[in-house]
Structure 1
Amino acid sequence: MSAHAALGVSGTPPLPHPAPPPPPPVSRAAAGGPMLQDADRLRFVGAATRRISRAMDLDEIVAGLCRAVLPSFSDGILVCLRDPLPVGDERPTGPLVLRLHRFDRAPAEDAGGVPFPEPGVPAPELCEVRPGSDLAEVLRGVRPVFTDSPAGRGALAELTGDGGVFALPDGQRAILAPLRGRRRVIGTALFLRRPESRPFELNDLLVAAQLATHSALGIDKAVLYGREAHIADELQRTMLPETLPSPPGIRLAARYLPAAESARVGGDWYDAIPLPGSRVALVVGDVMGHSMTSAAIMGQLRTTAQTLAGLGLPPQEVLHHLDEQAQRLGAEHMATCLYAVYDPVSHRITIANAGHPPPVLLHPGGRAEVLRMPPGAPIGVGGVDFEAVELDAPEGATLLLYTDGLVESRLRDVWTGIEQLREKAGTTGRLAGPGRPPALETLCDDVLDMVGPGDRDDDIALLAARFDGIVPGDVAYWSLEPEDAAPGQARRLARRTLSRWNLEELGDSVELLVSELVTNAVRHSSRPVTLRLLRTDVLRCEIGDDAPELPRLRRARPTDENGRGLYLVSRLAMRWGAARLSTGKIVWFEFARP
């Protein structure tokens, strides 16, 4: 550049231009809201979409959209969603109804002329979209529109209740953006700016379109994921016991907590199975992994365990057969399991373990101990022998069976968690007072309190068993030779025992049924027939023999000489049943105590 050009035509330096006046003060929302540069818009859209896409839940996605646009893009946002929201490829039935899901606004520095509802004045909750209306046409067009056009004003009035809530000034102060998912429109977002803010520009329609698209697709996936997770959770819960049984001599309580929302489908299970001879099997297991497959494998193993328990097999044999079943289901499927059988008559419990955390026994005085037993290999490894240990089960003691989600997490290893569980159970036991074991429900709740909200990475299954036992004076047991005199002998023994228990008024009915069942047992047995009476909250009678065939109830014809015994049992007894044992079978019936 020449010197003349630099100095001007006259050769003298040009006068400096006067400084431009400072811009008028604007509100914080107005200063940060309109973005005049394309680069700013791109950065904003990128940050906003990342924030929206991080969320997995429907409410989190809508909240992410609202937080992203306030106050950077708009001063207020109103989100309405279809009610009900269609899931996946479902075809919605009925009229299109939009329900207010969320309404957020940025704080205003100047309360004058705010085009939002006053505090306490709610936005319309529900809007039915009439076919052919302005709102229906805007939703059908999918693209965002300004609400200062005739169609936009009509759509806004229909959405917000004929304009009674939003009094917008002239200019492009609102954008109505339909939310379209994979298949259909699922709602709409209304972006608003106050009068003191700069109005929207044409390029802001592109920003609104991007926000609406990402939000709608995220909502679509969240609804679909929520439905699948709900179905999976329901499927898993239906595989768990609806209610726990109430066998004599033991009280039970259980808890099940799924893992975090992102991994809620697991393979933890618990069970309590009444066994012949008034015994009860206690089972807790954990299939490795979190998936629908894990839940399905859990259901198959639980069913197998129930079937094996009904055969009266010892705990180590049950685990052996479960191991074989897991291998048939696939070499990659493994599970840990603990199987215990409690006998309330002998006050003993037999436990076998397959790689599961050891149980904790809370004694009546408040002392808690971790039971020592062979750990065993997990189910599914194959070729491993399982061992069982037999322990005393003192009256008033409580056995806690659990899965590793209770004692292991990112913050602690499994043995630290087991020690914390022992201390927690002991503290609860001591607080109950000397000689008074804590209530089972209270104990379960206290134990679960040791797991903090951010400390639960896995499912938790907890089964608590309180051993009440059956005192020897409430049990009568005999072994009868399989001969013709056995039914009469059984009648006399039963009547004598009922008289000692002050249950004489049940004598005639009990004698009749005992005679019928002992007669049947003698007819089919080659070894001694057993007769046992138990007095708990009911009177229970058990007749055992070595014939494995279970009796079936049938209606005898007038000319039949046999077949009426079980009919009498079903008519007179409160409950009755039959179960196979490894050595034969047992037939039982119960009467309510007068």
Structure 2
Amino acid sequence: MSGSGASPTPPVWASTSDGWDPGLLAVVDLVLGSPVAMAFLHGDRLRLIYNDAYGQLLGERHPDAYGAPAAEAFGAAWDGPAGAAVRETLHTGFAPRDTELPSTADDEPDPALPTRGLSAVRDGSGRIAGVLIVAVEPVPVAHRLQGLTELAEALAGTLTLDEVARVALRYGLSSPDVQQVAFGVDDGDDWRVVRRVRGDVLDDADERLPPVWRRIPADSVAPLSVAAGAGLARFTADGHPLREAAQDRHDEKVRALAALPLRTPSLRGALTVGRHDQHPWSAAERALLTAAGKLVAQAAERARRFENQHGTAQLLQRSMLPENLPDDPRFRLAARYDPGVDGNAAGGDFYDAFLLPGGRLAAVLGDVAGHDVRAAALMGQVRAALRALALTDSTPTSVLTGLDRLVASLGAEARTDELFVTVAYAVIERDGRLTVATAGHPPPLVRHADGTADYLEVPTGTPLGLGGIRRSAVATLAPGDTLLLFSDGVIERRGLDLGAGLEKLAATVAGAVGGDPRTLCALASAAVGGTTDDDVAVLAVEHATAPSRSAGMEIPAEPTAPGRVRHWMSAQLTAWNVPEQVIGAAVLCASELTTNALLHAGTAARVQVDLSAERLLVAVSDSGTRGAVSRAHAETLSSRGRGLGLIEELSDAWGTDPAVRGSTVWFEIGIRASKGGERGIGVA
């Protein structure tokens, strides 16, 4: 506080600010720096923090009112309509209308306690932590104050830098006079920047897209780069502040610009807000924008920390899973893994498939209890040991017996009996003969070529490390049948009987239009509704009725790549005698996925096509780190509005599979029973 001679040393603020929520700190900075009369009532007793302009309204009560509880600072007025309005705002989160306030003829208005200009203030968790009073409120400033509260609430729900960027850009354009907003953060030696221009045609799908980032050098003369590098705000009232580093005509039109640095201990960046008219930035506007910048900076730092933790956990997880499944003309394989935790921890589910001597195929899926580094490390040890044992003696009972000894030994070494590992392990002969053994794991499911599905009768056995006699079961995987191994995260839900989960899974798999492994993995992972904290893992092996044809193409990260993909796919599918209507749909969908891979992952990609007698499968893989596409939001992947609604309309199934780096989005079109007319093809 300063200016009125008797400004006190703020004992409450000075002694309690350490450890405050960043959002509340931003509100206090706004109050103390604003020329508009403002006060903040906070804490259980609603202690008063205010600026000089508000101190003048308090009159003789200033400076003793600073830090005092509201009931003491306002006296009789606190029991009147204005005090009631503050309490209602605090309890409901909304300021009441004047007509709803109680009134008496004897009430004397208190200029420091108005019935208007009240806003609930929430902390980072969304809890109401106090009430902001604006005693003199120009209408635009009042609207922006409300917007600042909404910004804090929106940022509280963000996890990634993409989400923080979307919220910041939306907030900047909430003022009708603002024409463009840019948000940038440090990225190595350069800056990573995303921009939003008023008038962009955006639908709900675009709002959920990963923002399109671009890089600018650290020594750029762009105001965003200068503000981010120097850590100083700059407000231009009139001129052409973006002309020297203009990206396009939108930048050239900007005359007034506010460039706000975003600074935290581990992040540097900036937020710019531009207008097309001459505009002197008022002190109140500067204070509001500065407060908004502090909120955005704190959220960006939190998001970067989350992304680093998330990336480390996911890289650890993926690195312990097979990067590629075996390529065998007799068996088609697919797997799906969805972490059930918040992404900051590595889980213990694992799967593997590999060829054995004599042309046999081994398939395994296991579950190590826990979601921490120890669980992931144990998972890696079990998977490696299983493969080593299987390559020596692939008999399922022998492999599980050897794993029993390993887990028991690790438990004794760690002096714990809490190592809990379950496994389902199968060996498939060239003719489809199947031998399976499990250790405390759900039974495998077989989807038959005739559209039925049933669970194999396999002795359950005890989890690994507990010993006991291991037994196996023998069955036949006929041509057209598909074997599914899955973790308990697929079928277990809180409040749902395990038997009901197994029934839902079997019914969903039986209802599939075919036995394609990718489709069945996607369907199985979503068969039982509801949320789960457990990981979800599925491995599917189809005994092919006939060998399939495959071809692939590497896609450079260039604007011409989608056109090259369309030309290559048309020629390849025509050479394979694929019906024209299938070619048209497949080429259009592949072009859409290629565009999105290049636009939103920003890396080179690969297109893979696989043609069998029953279906055409197309997969587009990138090596980016932007995350997976949720099937629950099919429309969220879009090259500007069309989204995966197009793929969903033209294909019979689609899905996404995350990998060690990047992800694969795929779709399939049935040849004999696909959308769009008659089909019919034989694969030679």
Establish whether TM, by shorter chain, passes 0.5: yes
Partner SS state of residue 56, structure 1: coil
Q: Which residue of 1 aligns with 2:440?
A: 355
Q: What is the alpha-carbon distance in structure 1 between the residues aligned to residue 544 and residue 224 of structure 2?
A: 69
Please show how residues 537-548 of structure 1 align to structure 2 within 5 Å.
Answer: none
Q: Is 1:464 the equivalent of 2:464? A: no
Letter in 1 for 2:335: R
The one-letter amino acid paired with 1:251 is F
Deviations along 1:345-371, whole A, 9 cap, x unmatched?
6x6533222222211123443332122
Alignment-derived partner of residue 263 in structure 2: 180
- Structure 2: how far apart are the matches of 1:206 and 1:356? 60
Alignment-derived partner of residue 233 in structure 2: 144
Say which of 335, 342, 347 aligns to 2:421: 335
Cα distance in structure 1, aligned partners of 2:263 and 2:404: 50
Shift of 1:325: 2.6
1:102 maps onto 2:196 in alignment: yes
> Is the counterpart of residue 79 in structure 1 residue 179 in structure 2?
no
Identity %: 28
Residue 442 of structure 2 aligns to a residue whose secondary structure is coil
Alignment-mate amino acid for residue 266 of structure 1: G
Q: 1:162: Cα distance to partner?
A: 10
Q: Secondary structure at the match of 1:262?
A: coil
2:504 aligned counterpart, secondary structure? helix
CA distance, structure 2, for counterparts of residue 254 and residue 224 of structure 1: 33
Are the structure 2 counterparts of residues 245 and 206 from structure 1 closer, same or farther at C-alpha, using a change threshold of 3 Å?
same
1:424 is the counterpart of 2:500: no
Quote how far apart the aligned CAs of 1:305 are.
0.7
How much does 1:422 deviate? 1.4
Q: Is this contact kept in 2: 1:52–1:215, CA < 8 A?
A: yes
Match of 1:253 among 328, 333, 345: 333
| SS of the residue 2:272 aligns to | strand
Please list the CA deviations of residues 169-207 of structure 1 after superposition, one character each: whole Å capped at 9, or x if unmatched.
Answer: 7xxx64221222434532x212356869x9643143233
Does the 8 Å CA contact 1:124/1:161 hold for their aligned counterparts?
A: no
Q: Quote the residue 2:293 is aligned against.
A: 212
CA drift of 1:253 comes to 0.8
CA contact (8 A) 1:283 1:339 kept: yes
Label 1:210 to 1:352 Cα distance change in 2 as closer, same or farther (>3 A).
Answer: same
1:350-404: CA deviation from partner (whole Å, max 9, x where unpaired): 322222221112344333212233333333xx43425313223153343211122
Instruction: For 1:412 and 1:386, locate their aligned partners in 2 and report how far apart those are by CA, in whole Å.
Output: 31
Change (3 A) 1:74 1:124: farther
Answer yes or no: is the 8 Å Cα contact 2:326–2:333 preserved in 1. Answer: no
2:142 aligned partner = 35
Query: Which residue of structure 1 lines up, in the alignment, with residue 323 of structure 2?
Result: 242
User: Aligned residue for 1:553?
Assistant: none
Q: What's the counterpart of residue 367 of structure 1?
A: 452
Q: Which string of whole-angstrom CA distances, capped at 9 and with x for unpartnered residues, describes residues 469-508 of structure 1?
A: 9xxxxxxxxxxxxxxxxxxxxxxxxxxxxxxxxxxxxxxx
Q: CA 1:133 to 1:167, structure 2 compared with 1: closer, same or farther past 3 Å?
A: closer
Q: Secondary structure at the match of 1:462?
A: strand
CA distance in 2, matches of 1:164, 1:275: 61
**Does structure 1 conserve the Cα–Cα contact (< 8 Å) formed by 2:338 and 2:535?**
yes
Q: Distance in 1 between matches of 2:226 and 2:276?
A: 26
SS for the counterpart of 2:141 is coil
Alignment pair present for 1:202 and 2:252:
no
Q: Report if aligned partners of 1:315, 1:339 keep a CA contact under 8 Å in 2.
A: yes
Give the secondary structure class of the aligned counterpart of 2:297.
Answer: helix
Match of 2:387 among 293, 306, 324: 306
Distance in 2, matches of 1:124 and 1:244, equals 33
Q: Per the alignment, in what secondary structure is the counterpart of residue 196 of structure 2? A: strand
Q: 2:342 is paired with a residue of what secondary structure?
A: helix
Question: Per-residue displacement from partner, 1:14-35 (whole Å, max 9, x unpaired)?
Answer: xxxxxxxxxxxxxxxx986323
Task: Note closer, same or farther for the CA distance 1:420–1:147 as it changes in structure 2 (3 Å cut).
Answer: same
- SS of 1:266's partner is coil
| Inter-partner Cα distance in structure 2 for 1:133 and 1:467 | 59
Question: 1:282 offset after TM fit, Å?
Answer: 2.2
Compute the displacement of 1:217 (Å): 3.6
Aligned residues: 392
Residue 362 of structure 2 is aligned to residue 274 of structure 1: no
Q: Match of 1:263, SS?
A: coil
User: Which residue in the other structure is 2:163 paired with?
Assistant: 60
TM (norm. structure 1) is: 0.55
Match of 1:315 in 2: 396
**Equivalent residue letter for 2:156:** S
Taking the aligned partners of 2:251 and 2:325, their CA distance within structure 1 comes to 55
Measure how far apart 1:424 and its partner are: 2.6
Deviation per residue, 1:63-122 (Å, 9 max, x gap):
22234455369745512425xx43xxxxx33xx556443345799xxxxxxxxxxxxxxx
| 1:247–1:136 distance in 2 versus 1, CA, 3 Å | closer
> Aligned letter for 2:273?
F
- Counterpart code for 1:209: T
Q: Which residue pairs with 1:191 in the alignment?
A: 273
Q: CA deviation at 1:255?
A: 1.5
Whether the 8 Å contact between 2:314 and 2:343 is mirrored in structure 1 is no
Asked if the contact 2:173–2:181 (Cα under 8 Å) also holds between the matched residues in 1, the reply is no
Q: How many angstroms apart in 2 are the aligned matches of 1:263 and 1:385? A: 36
- Tell me, in whole angstroms, the C-alpha distance in 2 between the residues paired with 1:276 and 1:106: 59
Relative contact order higher in (CA < 8 Å, ≥ 6 apart) = 1
Offset from partner CA, 1:424-451 (integer Å, 9 cap, x none):
33233xx56xxxxx44455445545646
Distance 2:165 2:266 in 1: 19
Q: 1:371 to 1:35 in 2, by over 3 A?
A: same
8 Å CA contact 1:354, 1:386 repeated in 2 = no
- 1:297 maps to what in 2? 378
Q: Distance in 2 between matches of 1:55 and 1:305?
A: 41
Is the CA contact (8 Å cut-off) linking 1:75 and 1:192 kept in structure 2?
yes
Deviation at 1:246, TM superposition (A): 5.6
Question: Residue 343 and residue 158 in structure 1: after superposition, are their counterparts in 2 closer, same or farther (change >3 A)?
Answer: same
1:376 maps onto 2:479 in alignment = no
Q: 2:260 is matched by which residue type in structure 1?
A: A
CA contact (8 A) 2:180 2:197 kept: yes
Alpha carbons 1:76, 1:106 under 8 Å: kept? no
- Cα distance in 2 for partners of 1:58, 1:293 equals 29
Give the equivalent residue in structure 1 for 2:597: none
User: 1-side partners of 2:197 and 2:250: how far apart?
Assistant: 16
Equivalent runs, 1:464-543 vs 2, <5 Å: 464-466=540-542
2: CA distance, partners of 1:341 / 1:135 = 60
1:404 partnered with 2:507: no
**Alpha-carbon distance change, 105 to 180 in structure 1, aligned in 2, over 3 angstroms:** farther
